[in-house]
């Protein structure tokens, strides 16, 4: 190797000036071969360097992105799409990163924000917890509304970092989560992954962002757990979760406190009460009851001890959207910068419910009426699977601070859901979603 380098050292810098020694043909042939090898090597090295430096920056090293399964982001076109989607129509508008944007609540909020002129960028992992086709259909809906949804996991720090490098988000609407109360017994790890590790990862990126965004995120009515004082008020105890799902949402509230306290992040937690409506989640009872009633399959209706009713404060999606917008609009700025707190920051938690609990049996009766099909009811004692007997929200705080006032009763909301369901699942085959 060294000999070769010294040999190359003898070459003049300008090839035209090279004068071969004509005295020995053998040496001459050797020299011209070396010359060929040298220039070929130069050419190869140049081509390699040109390729390396002309490739646009596409985020973290490929290996780490591959490991996280988020291969689909990066590049100039991608950055342009991200910027365009996040562009707000006026200076007074918000620039919002919506996590879980292809989810039920995420889709509705993203469209609502975009419609009123805010900049919106979505991120969603498109996991297979429930039918990913439904998430893709929501994505197409969002695309038509001008919202780009980046495919990626909130645990992917380099992706989130990249999004904040491209866009100065003023707000984060954090809805990406592992939802569902009963599924926590089957797959506890997924709750820790999304609702704890994912949330912490997001807050880590937000705390270091400059400027720090204000964060509004989805907690859950389930944090009230075994609390029996009704209606549930934000002041009531939330230290008796009945499911791991509830425990991870409660943990989220405590984690929010920590990041607010140390880093000055402005954080608002919203305790959603059994949200339902068009484009909803197929794992929720009202959704699969509809499916099973139409198929003539029996549905299980849980009842409490001594034939006690199990009831939920079902809340219609449009009311939830109004509550979320109210929370975003009243969120104060975070106070930190460069990962350091500069002063006290806002920390809030609100119930977003309907304040009108309805027994599950009544939900089924409304569905029967709307679907014009008799349900095959199988009444069973409520299993020990994390469910609570009833939920009922006190919403005076949200009313006072966010102007939150739900206006949709269960029958009206279910009518809209059923109309969507029939259109989507029955008419879907005719139109191309």
Ligand X SMILES: O=C(O)[C@H]1O[C@H](OP(=O)(O)OP(=O)(O)OC[C@H]2O[C@@H](n3ccc(=O)[nH]c3=O)[C@H](O)[C@@H]2O)[C@H](O)[C@@H](O)[C@@H]1O
Nearer to ligand X, 68 or 185 (CB): 185
- Angstrom distance (rounded) from CA 400 to CA 397: 5
Residue at token pair 């919202």 = 147
We find the least distance from the C-beta atom of residue 289 to ligand X, in angstroms, to be: 8
Q: Can you say how many angstroms the Cα of residue 227 is from the centroid of all Cα atoms in its chain? A: 29
**Is residue 310 involved in binding ligand X (CB under 6 A)?**
yes
One residue of 4, 7, 140, 300 binding ligand X per CB under 6 A: 300
We find the least distance from the C-beta atom of residue 311 to ligand X, in angstroms, to be: 7
**Is residue 366 involved in binding ligand X (CB under 6 A)?**
no
We find the least distance from the C-beta atom of residue 50 to ligand X, in angstroms, to be: 52
**DSSP code string of 101-127:** TTSHHHHHHHHHHHHTT-EEEEEE---
User: What residues from 156 to 215 belong to the interface with ligand X (CB under 6 A)?
Assistant: 179-181
We find the least distance from the C-beta atom of residue 397 to ligand X, in angstroms, to be: 17
| Per-residue mark of binding to ligand X, 249-278 (x: CB under 6 A) | -----------------------xxx----
> Which positions are catalytic?
245
**Is residue 408 involved in binding ligand X (CB under 6 A)?**
no
One residue of 85, 220, 248, 260 binding ligand X per CB under 6 A: 220
Size (the chain), residues: 433
> Please, are residues 118 and 150 in contact by the beta-carbon 8 Å criterion?
no
One residue of 301, 325, 367, 414 binding ligand X per CB under 6 A: 301
**Is residue 302 involved in binding ligand X (CB under 6 A)?**
yes
One residue of 285, 317, 321, 349 binding ligand X per CB under 6 A: 285
**Is residue 370 involved in binding ligand X (CB under 6 A)?**
no
- Angstrom distance (rounded) from CA 75 to CA 55: 9
We find the least distance from the C-beta atom of residue 98 to ligand X, in angstroms, to be: 18
One residue of 387, 396, 401, 433 binding ligand X per CB under 6 A: 387
We find the least distance from the C-beta atom of residue 370 to ligand X, in angstroms, to be: 17
Which distant-in-sequence residues (6+ apart) come within 8 Å of 292 by Cβ? 298, 299, 375
Q: Which two tokens stand for residue 379?
A: 């009444």
| Per-residue mark of binding to ligand X, 222-241 (x: CB under 6 A) | x-------------------
**Is residue 362 involved in binding ligand X (CB under 6 A)?**
no
Count the residues of the shown chain that bind ligand X, applying the rule CB under 6 A.
19
Which distant-in-sequence residues (6+ apart) come within 8 Å of 58 by Cβ? 73, 74, 75, 78
**Is residue 367 involved in binding ligand X (CB under 6 A)?**
no
Nearer to ligand X, 148 or 272 (CB): 272
One residue of 108, 312, 348, 392 binding ligand X per CB under 6 A: 312
Which distant-in-sequence residues (6+ apart) come within 8 Å of 338 by Cβ? 208, 210
DSSP element (H, E) containing 394: none
Return the closest-CA partner of residue 326 out of 404, 253, 266: 404
> Please, are residues 152 and 126 in contact by the beta-carbon 8 Å criterion?
no
DSSP element (H, E) containing 37: helix 25-54
Q: Which stretch binds ligand X (CB under 6 A): 157-165, 218-226, 318-326, 398-406?
A: 218-226
Nearer to ligand X, 368 or 387 (CB): 387
DSSP element (H, E) containing 271: strand 267-272
> Please, are residues 392 and 358 in contact by the beta-carbon 8 Å criterion?
no
- Angstrom distance (rounded) from CA 346 to CA 267: 6
Residues in contact with ligand X by CB under 6 A are 179-181, 220-222, 272-274, 284-285, 300-302, 310, 312, 360, 387, 391
């Amino acid at each position: 190797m060294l000999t070769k380098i010294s040999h190359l050292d003898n070459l003049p810098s300008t090839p035209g000036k090279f004068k071969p020694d004509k005295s020995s043909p053998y040496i001459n042939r050797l020299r011209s071969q070396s010359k060929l090898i040298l220039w070929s090597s130069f050419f190869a090295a140049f081509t390699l360097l040109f390729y390396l430096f002309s490739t646009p920056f596409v985020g973290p090293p490929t290996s780490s992105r591959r490991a996280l399964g988020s291969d689909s982001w990066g590049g100039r076109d991608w950055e342009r799409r991200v910027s365009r989607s996040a562009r707000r129509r006026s200076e007074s508008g918000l620039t919002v990163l919506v996590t879980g944007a292809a989810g039920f609540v995420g889709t509705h909020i993203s469209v609502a924000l975009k419609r009123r002129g805010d900049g919106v960028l979505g991120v969603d992992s498109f996991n297979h917890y429930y039918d990913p086709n439904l998430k893709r259909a929501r994505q197409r809906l969002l695309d038509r509304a001008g919202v780009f949804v980046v495919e990626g996991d909130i645990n992917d720090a380099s992706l989130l970092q990249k999004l904040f490098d491209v866009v100065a988000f003023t707000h984060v609407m954090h809805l990406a989560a592992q939802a569902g109360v009963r599924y926590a017994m089957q797959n506890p790890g997924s709750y820790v992954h999304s609702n704890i590790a994912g949330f912490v990862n997001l807050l880590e990126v937000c705390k270091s962002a400059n400027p720090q965004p204000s964060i509004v995120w989805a907690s859950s009515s389930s944090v009230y757990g075994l609390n029996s004082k009704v209606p549930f008020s934000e002041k009531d105890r939330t230290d008796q979760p009945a499911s791991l799902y509830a425990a991870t949402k409660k943990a989220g509230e405590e984690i929010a406190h920590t990041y607010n306290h140390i880093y000055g992040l402005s954080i608002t937690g919203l305790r959603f009460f059994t949200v339902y409506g068009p484009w909803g989640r197929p794992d929720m009872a009202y959704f699969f009851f509809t499916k099973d009633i139409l198929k003539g399959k029996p549905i299980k209706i849980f009842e409490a001890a001594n034939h006690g009713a199990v009831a939920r404060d079902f809340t219609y999606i449009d009311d939830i959207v109004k509550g979320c917008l109210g929370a975003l609009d009243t969120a104060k700025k975070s106070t930190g910068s460069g990962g350091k707190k500069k002063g006290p920051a806002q920390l809030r938690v609100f119930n977003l419910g309907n304040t009108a609990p309805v027994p599950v049996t009544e939900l089924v009766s409304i569905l029967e009426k709307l679907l014009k099909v008799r349900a095959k009811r199988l009444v069973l004692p409520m299993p020990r699977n994390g469910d609570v007997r009833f939920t009922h929200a006190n919403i005076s705080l949200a009313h006072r601070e966010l102007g939150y006032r739900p206006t949709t009763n269960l029958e009206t909301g279910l009518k809209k859901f059923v109309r969507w369901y029939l259109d989507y699942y029955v008419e879907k085959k005719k139109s191309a979603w």
